[in-house]
Amino acid sequence: MRSRFFAFLLLGGALPVAAQPASLLPVPTSVRTGTGRFSIDSTTSIAITGHSDPRLERAISRLLHRLSRRIAQPMSRSITRTATPRSIAIDVAGPGMPVQGIDENERYTLTVGADGTTLQAATTVGALRGLETLLQLVVGDGTSFYLDAVSIADEPRFAWRGLLVDVSRHFMPIEQLKRTLDGMALVKLNVFHWHLSDDQGFRVESKHFPKLHELGSDGLYYTQQEVRDLVAYARDRGIRVVPEFDMPGHSTSWFVGYPQYSAQRPPIAIRREWGGADAIFDPTKEATYTFIARFLDEMIPLFPDAYWHIGGDEVEGKHWDSNPEIVAWRTRHGFRDNHALQLHFNTRLATLLSRHGKRMVGWDEILHPDLPPRTVVQSWRGTQYLANSAKQGFTGILSAPWYLDHIKPATEYYTADPVPQFDELTPAQQRLIIGGEACIWAEFITAETADSRIWPRLGAVAERLWSPRTVTDVADMYRRLDILTDRLEGLGLRVRSHPARMLATIAPGFDTAPVESLFTAVQPPSFGQSANGIRPNQWHPLTRLVDAARPDPDGRWLTERLVRRVARDPNDAAARDSLLVLFERWSLLLPRVEALGARSPTMAQGVAAARALARSAVIGTEAIGFLAAGRQAPAAWAAAAAAELKRYDAPQGLLRVAIVGEVRKLLAMASPPNDE
């Protein structure tokens, strides 16, 4: 079921027509609307009036292709050097940095009027950002397509706006990654953090050390040419590629072929389960650093970016403590603890990387006052670790609030700011926070499900990293995420279409409409929650009902919005009636889901959640009845209902009911005051 039904319900039956530039995502720095419009049709031309280079020309070619599909008309492919009233003029001052870096100028201005449209930028990357905005401005009426008159001046709030994609736990084919890069370009993200090695797989071909990919990847790896191609594909879209080869921990896959560099004894096998592993680099052997140096000599030419991620997280000291030779070496060299030993390892890595002009990035466990000062610390355990790194003078990147695989609603990602209001940070320390990254770890995600787990929620993170801090309207964010979803589908990303595609795999020939309706109000468990005792490993296909469900179902947000209206005004009959319609639809799903479950064990995985949803809807309906009647619910009924809802906080089989919290709010409004 598309979320447009919910918009229809909320607006009392009138489907919204998005006024422009109200659909822009991310919101630009400055927007001034004008009068008039610029028509878009097959006679519209492109004029490059300033600098031109192959990257800009390829971007214009993509623009024309997407415009042509949008207006269902062929576009002229002739590019001129002189602007006319019927042309879109692109005026770029220069190419920008030879290798796109953190200091790249991404500013642009876009001016649309009846007599022409002009995009101006200092660099090609700035023009790429403006072209995406231009495409989002295209609207139509009954007779034509056009751009409304507008003047936009735009630039990012943060220079580092990224997405980490884990391809170690589950391999992601190149075509899937390219679709992800297309989506990232649409929302103006500029860093693709490629997590290429972990305990479950080493994913890049090595000609110097072929056992890395031959024995550590199950045959699923990227050739060096594929890596070059993806880096070039990303650069064409104004996106940097930062590789991560995790060390000294999370490194089992390295040692399947090269156990001599591990602190553990062979044999060592790829780890199939999730969580920490025993295999870890031996930081006391000089041969370890020779091996890493030769590895970097081979890999670094594949990745021109100035930053290189070493991982460094979850290094459990017990793995070094269990090796008597390492313990003796540590004592002999005066290292007080394993944190100091990891500092030694990281300092050696930083030296190796600096020889290649690379700047080291690592997760927040690497933080130590004696780290090389140019080290960048990426905080994943909490915002306080970001503050700690800034106070010690280190550049910082925030990821802690933006783990997409934790299955949180877009609201939570949107309201987390890259620079939290730390009272203890000076303005200079706050400036050390250069941005952030969302992360999609792949324990419970495959290439088949990745699009739906990344999008559209990543759009909320992208806006937080690009737009002014004052852009905080959650309701408007959700409205625009719905439009973004359509745009992503147009680029080939399986976002809205994913549930139906997965259900077709799970139950071919079934009428799965009841389960699709169920998916409007249930979601997968959060990361780490037990799903009915099932803990998948790397061999599980991840084609269960939970893998088809949406991370942030449409009905959750609509219920939250309507409940907020009722909380403000219990006499808001329109909000109450809309909730009643929703609750009735959900309460009637149970017998239909049960009928499907009787025909398929996989579909039966939804019965427990359908039952809990139906009961939650009934409780919500009864609470609204008390509110509408202007009387309090009986204390015994309220207590029993509260106890029942508490049970539904936990996963119901493989799924979680997403509206329980909102029904609990209705119950609290209808219940007698708590005298405790």
Q: What is the pLDDT of residues 50-65, one digit of tens each?
A: 999 999 999 999 999 9
Q: CB of 161 within 8 A of CB of 436?
A: yes
- Reported as a single tens digit per residue, the pLDDT across 330-350 is 999 999 999 999 999 999 999
Report the percent of the chain where pLDDT is more than 70: 95
Query: Distance between CA atoms of 572 and 655, rounded to whole angstroms?
Result: 32
Catalytic one among 226, 273, 298, 314?
Answer: 314
User: What's the rounded mean pLDDT across residues 14-37?
Assistant: 76
SS3 at position 352: helix
- Reported as a single tens digit per residue, the pLDDT across 117-129 is 999 999 999 999 9
- Reported as a single tens digit per residue, the pLDDT across 234-267 is 999 999 999 999 999 999 999 999 999 999 999 9
Q: CB of 201 within 8 A of CB of 212?
A: no
Q: CB of 438 within 8 A of CB of 464?
A: no
- pLDDT of 561 strictly over 80: yes
Q: CB of 397 within 8 A of CB of 377?
A: yes
pLDDT at residue 423, rounded to an integer: 67
Containing H/E element for 240?
strand 240-245
Containing H/E element for 273?
none
Q: How far is CA 202 from CA 7, 219, 259, 270, 596, in A?
A: 45, 10, 14, 9, 41
Query: Distance between CA atoms of 368 and 394, rounded to whole angstroms?
Result: 10
pLDDT at residue 208, rounded to an integer: 97
Query: Distance between CA atoms of 392 and 368, rounded to whole angstroms?
Result: 8
User: What's the rounded mean pLDDT across residues 86-114?
Assistant: 96
Mean pLDDT score across all residues of the chain: 93
- pLDDT of 15 strictly over 50: no
Q: CB of 514 within 8 A of CB of 592?
A: yes
Place of tokens 């201005």: 109
Place of tokens 């971007």: 59
What are the residues facing 140 on neighbouring strands? 145
Backbone dihedral angles phi then psi of residue 164, each to the nearest 5 degrees: -90, 130
Q: Radius of gyration over alpha carbons of the chain, in Å? A: 27
User: What's the rounded mean pLDDT across residues 381-410?
Assistant: 95
- pLDDT of 8 strictly over 50: no
Q: CB of 417 within 8 A of CB of 387?
A: no
pLDDT at residue 422, rounded to an integer: 63
The pair of structure tokens assigned to 560 is 């939250």
Query: Distance between CA atoms of 138 and 149, rounded to whole angstroms?
Result: 11
User: What's the rounded mean pLDDT across residues 371-387?
Assistant: 95
Q: CB of 362 within 8 A of CB of 346?
A: yes
pLDDT at residue 17, rounded to an integer: 34
- pLDDT of 192 strictly over 70: yes
Band the pLDDT of 21: cuts 50, 70, 90. Answer: low
pLDDT at residue 562, rounded to an integer: 97
| Crossing angle of the two packed helices 554-568 and 573-587, in degrees rounded to 10 | 150
Kindly write down the DSSP assignment for every residue of 15-47, as one continuous string. Answer: ---PPTTTT-SSPPSEEEEEEEEEEESTT-EEE
Picking from 406, 405, 436, 404, the residue whose alpha carbon sits closest to that of residue 419 is: 436
- Reported as a single tens digit per residue, the pLDDT across 470-508 is 999 999 999 999 999 999 999 999 999 999 999 999 999
Strand residues in 478-589 grouped as ranges (E)? 522-523
pLDDT at residue 1, rounded to an integer: 42
Query: Distance between CA atoms of 108 and 466, rounded to whole angstroms?
Result: 13
Pairing of strands 522-523, 433-440: unpaired
The pair of structure tokens assigned to 78 is 């002739």
User: What's the rounded mean pLDDT across residues 188-209?
Assistant: 98
- pLDDT of 32 strictly over 70: yes
Query: Distance between CA atoms of 193 and 190, rounded to whole angstroms?
Result: 10
> Is there a catalytic annotation at residue 325?
no
- pLDDT of 676 strictly over 70: no
Backbone dihedral angles phi then psi of residue 95, each to the nearest 5 degrees: -75, -25
How many H-runs (helices) and E-runs (strands) does the chain carry?
26, 19
- pLDDT of 674 strictly over 80: no
* pTM for the whole structure: 0.95
Q: How far is CA 440 from CA 183, 188, 406, 446, in A?
A: 14, 18, 9, 11
Pairing of strands 201-202, 656-657: unpaired
302: which DSSP letter? G
- pLDDT of 620 strictly over 60: yes
pLDDT at residue 536, rounded to an integer: 80
- pLDDT of 535 strictly over 80: no
Q: Count Cβ atoms below 10 Å from residue 5 Cβ, excluding itself.
A: 17
**CB-side neighbour CA atoms (13 Å) of 210:** 1
pLDDT at residue 16, rounded to an integer: 35
